[in-house]
Chain A
Amino acid sequence: MEPPPGAAPPAGGPGALRRNAVALGFLAPAVIILSVWIIYPTCYTIARSFFGQQGFGDFVGIDNYKALFTPFNSHNILLKAIKNSAIWILVAPAMVTAIGLIFAVLTERIRWAVAFKTVVFMPMAISLFATGVIWHVMYIKDPSQGAVNAGVGAIRSWFVSPGALSNALPSTSTLTGSPQKGYVLTKPISAGGTAQLGLTAIPPTDLSSSAKQVVVPRAKAGAIEGIVWRDFKPGGGVVGKPEQGELGIPGVHVNLLDSAGKKAGGATTGDDGAFEFKDVKGGGYKVSIDKSTFAAPFGGVSWLGSQLITPSIIIAYIWVWAGFAMVVIGAGLAAISREVLEAARTDGATEWQVFRRITVPMLAPVLSVVFITMLINVLKVFDIVISIAPGSTQSDAAVIAVQMWRQSFGGVNDFGLGSAIAVFLFVLVVPVLLLNVRRFKREV
């Protein structure tokens, strides 16, 4: 039985403590925890931010705050951190909410919805730091180690295959060209001449096991004889001269170009690296090695390099949180009355119109919950950035929370500057918090 309004017991007066003792008793632990661990550190941090590195004896006023915004030598990491945080705020919450919405709507229709939702939600079960370590390993540039680049490389290999001697270089300047265009022997040859094309920087494992000792080619009338060989023996040897201990390179495609540069013949080298162009007349020919021999293997996309590091981390972050968004929005979706949707469909609305004009507006409160939660999370993002970015791109990937930690605990030991960054972060989060509180009040 509710007491009528206005008949509540007087707030003050004798016995007030006694009456409220039970309530105070229950509130006390929360009050103690809040004061000791939240209110006192907040006040201490705000106070500390006005002092320098040496402690409370070193008053610096607003110098720490000025440092937040002063550009310095293009190495002002604080400014980069603020820029990166802005990118995170603009991209991550929106993408997480959108992908969550799409998954939630799609999984409504399928039969194995529960299994799908479980799989998409599973990343939430591991810590963000562990996620960071997993993705760091997946993003490794070397396609033989990084899973993402292995996948990209597999797709690329359907269209492009690497050459047999992808690292090879000419051993002397008699060969000109580049790995992209192929190499050509600059000195023109006439019929009855010989061509020696020496290549270096070839690991012994790149040579076929059938490779044999190279032999200096002997001139033959009406033909052009030549060799393609690995111009290296232990110790270096004499560059440009085929020597004992140096192997010919089998299976190389050699082209004969006439004086106009057109292909006049082709040949493949044998086991000792020798090739022959028969029935050659006249002169002015050039011998070249086809560029396909040098096609470089896939080196891997630099996901952890300075251009792609922030998008790479955001992708990993979305992988973690899309499941959360999907589950919350899915719950909201289930609460929408089916009749409204059915009525719209009977009236002839397409699925897209139903989605855009009915589902989304009705989901607006749920979407705003997810969006605001993600916004607060993204402002604080820390462990995933530290664990994914290698040392060389830590400053390119820096966000505000990471910089606060680095300045305070990561080696610099400047608690004054760290406190100023913490206060700045707090000021950024407060509007979002107020939005959330207002929304709660409205709902109640």
Chain B
Amino acid sequence: MKKGWLAIAALVGALALAAGLGMSKANASSHNSSAVSGNISIVGVWTGAEQKNFQAVLNGFTKKYPNVKVKYKSTGDNTPTVLSTAVAGGNPPDLASVSQPGLVRDFQKKGALKSLDFAKGTLAKNYPASIVNIGKINGHVYGLLIKGANKSTVWYNVASFKAAGIKPPKTWGQFTKAIGTLRASGQIPLSVGGADGWTLTDLFENIYLRQAGVAKYNALSTHKIKWTDGSVVKALKTMGSILQSANMSGGTSGALQTDFPTSVSNVFSKKPKAAMVIEGDFVPGVISPNPLKPGSGYNVFPFPTIGNTAGYVEGGGDELMMFKDNPATRALVNYLATGAAQSIWAKRGGYTAPAKTVPPSAYPDAITRTTATAVGKAKAFVFDLSDLQPASFGATVGQGEFKIFQDFLKTPSNSAGISRTLEAAAAKAYKSGK
């Protein structure tokens, strides 16, 4: 028995020693790459192929700073919960990347975040001001967009368009005419992934941005104007006019049961069930292997303009936030904000760089190049509105925006009623602060 106790004590001692050695403090200044050392833990939403790509970016960092170890942990869709629990437990990671700016705001309010103002120099060199502003709270930068998504894109099946004899529409009027022509040619025009409510919110946001303008869009995203505002009802009417049962693959009930990946494979197929799917630049990466080739099989056009709105982009992305401030972590943030780092990811595909210093040649094919550079070149860039809302209204399956827009898909003529329901749900969410 005594020998056993001794063995256990020795083991515990050895573990404590190892832990102590592991937590070596970062020393010296960050000018000297080999002098910066430490361990960085970073938590993010990227899994699978995206995780491999991000790891390649991190490998570029550790090549520059050989004494720093970076460990990435993927928590997928549970990232908000994992981070909330970690912060509540007093043990957050050094850095985290999330898709909801609302979450960044929540953590900043709790006082859990450290400001990223130290990176101002790098940001000024690499980022357009409008994208830096997305992560600013009270004038200080707390969130940094490191992966962008252009959600103002429409993907189509080239063969269907050829059979109908139409070209990609530029304006909303041409778009509705194209829908009519496609129907007359015997091809269902739209593939709608209604089972995933967020696809419907993206369509609404694209229409609303172009009809109501950037100022009203920003006001709606912070609930400064209500969802019962006339501009919202107008956008809903426009949205309802194309979401007719005859225009969608499977009709209304089929669309409500179609999830997003299926809505993509309905179009990206040699025997397409529909001609177009309206979603962001991540669409081609969703199905693999892709039965169609870019350009000859499938292609993309920017979301049609309503009025003088060319160059308007509604997008999303993942924001980086910092919980612990030390030289090693600062070095990593500065690195991730550079065009060089983001080019590594861009080359591997499925990525839109927020930095303007990423050359178009970094993207693997012409289609990705067009959709990705549209973000940096945007005349006006706004962030996905539902991602900016409190989670119970904008990000939860089966309730809030997702559910109410699904109800709208069921009854697309009920713009006034749906806008009232949206306002009631939003008011409740904003009042309770969740």
Which A residues are closer than 8 A to B by beta carbons?
A: 52-55, 72-73, 75, 77, 140-142, 167, 171, 200-204, 206, 231-236, 299-300, 302, 304-305, 390-395, 398, 406, 409-414
Contacts and interface: CB of A to CB of B under 8 A. Distances in A.
Interface stretch (B36-44, B351-359, B421-429): B421-429
B181 interface: yes
16 contacts: A53-B432, A73-B424, A73-B425, A75-B404, A202-B186, A203-B186, A232-B184, A234-B185, A235-B164, A236-B165, A299-B251, A390-B256, A411-B80, A412-B396, A413-B81, A413-B84
A299 B162 CA distance: 28
Contacts of A300: 254
A200 B184 contact: yes
Contacts of A236: 164-165, 181, 184
Given A390-B195, A392-B257, 14 more contacts: A53-B434, A72-B428, A75-B404, A75-B421, A75-B425, A203-B185, A203-B187, A204-B186, A299-B251, A300-B254, A305-B253, A390-B256, A390-B257, A395-B399
Given A390-B195, A411-B391, A302 B398 contact: no
A71 to B, nearest CB: 12
Given A75-B421, A394-B397, A232 B434 contact: no
A142 B162 CA distance: 26
B169 to A, nearest CB: 13
A182 to B, nearest CB: 19
Given A141-B257, A200-B184, A413-B81, A75 B399 contact: yes
A268 B48 CA distance: 58
A203 B163 CA distance: 9
Contacts of B81: 409, 413
Contacts of A406: 396-399
Contacts of A53: 432-434
B208 interface: no
B181 A391 contact: no
Contact of B250 (A142, A391, A409): A142
A180 B129 CA distance: 59
Contact of B186 (A77, A232, A394, A413): A232
Contacts of A201: 183-184, 186
A140 B395 CA distance: 26
Contacts of B253: 141, 302, 305
Contacts of A305: 253, 256-257
Contacts of B56: none
A299 B259 CA distance: 18
A54 B111 CA distance: 13
A144 B231 CA distance: 42
Interface string B368-407: 0000000000000000000000011001111100111010
Nearest to A72: B428
A293 to B, nearest CB: 15
A141 B425 contact: no
A410 B433 CA distance: 17
Given A53-B434, A73-B425, A206-B186, A390 B259 contact: yes
Contacts of A77: 398-399
Contacts of B421: 73, 75
B197 interface: yes
Contacts of A142: 250, 254
B88 interface: yes
Given A73-B421, A201-B186, A409-B78, A391 B434 contact: no
Given A204-B186, A304-B257, A391-B197, A414 B425 contact: no
Contacts of A235: 164-166, 181
Contacts of A206: 186
B196 interface: yes
Nearest to A301: B253
A389 B428 CA distance: 26
A411 B395 contact: yes
Contact of B434 (A141, A233, A412): A412
Given A411-B392, A411-B397, A302 B257 contact: yes
A173 B391 CA distance: 49
B148 interface: no
B194 interface: yes
Interface string B218-259: 000000000000000000000000000000001101101101
Contacts of A202: 186
Given A53-B434, A141-B254, A305-B253, A392 B195 contact: yes
A73 B400 CA distance: 12
Contacts of A52: 432
Nearest to B256: A392
Nearest to A58: B433
A394 B256 CA distance: 11
Of B163, B194, B256, most buried by chain A (CB within 10 Å of CB) is: B256
A420 B391 CA distance: 19
Interface in B245-298: 250-251, 253-254, 256-257, 259
Nearest to A140: B257
B226 to A, nearest CB: 15
A371 to B, nearest CB: 31
Nearest to B399: A77
Contact of A391 (B166, B186, B398, B428): B398
A233 B165 contact: yes
Contacts of B398: 77, 391, 394-395, 398, 406
A171 B184 contact: yes
Contacts of B194: 392
A234 B257 contact: no
B84 A204 contact: no
Nearest to A77: B399
Nearest to A230: B186
A200 B246 CA distance: 13
Nearest to A412: B392
A413 B434 contact: yes
Given A141-B257, A409-B81, A167 B165 contact: no
A162 B424 CA distance: 45
Contact of B164 (A55, A167, A234, A392): A234
Given A394-B398, A406-B398, A204 B163 contact: yes
B263 to A, nearest CB: 12
A148 to B, nearest CB: 13
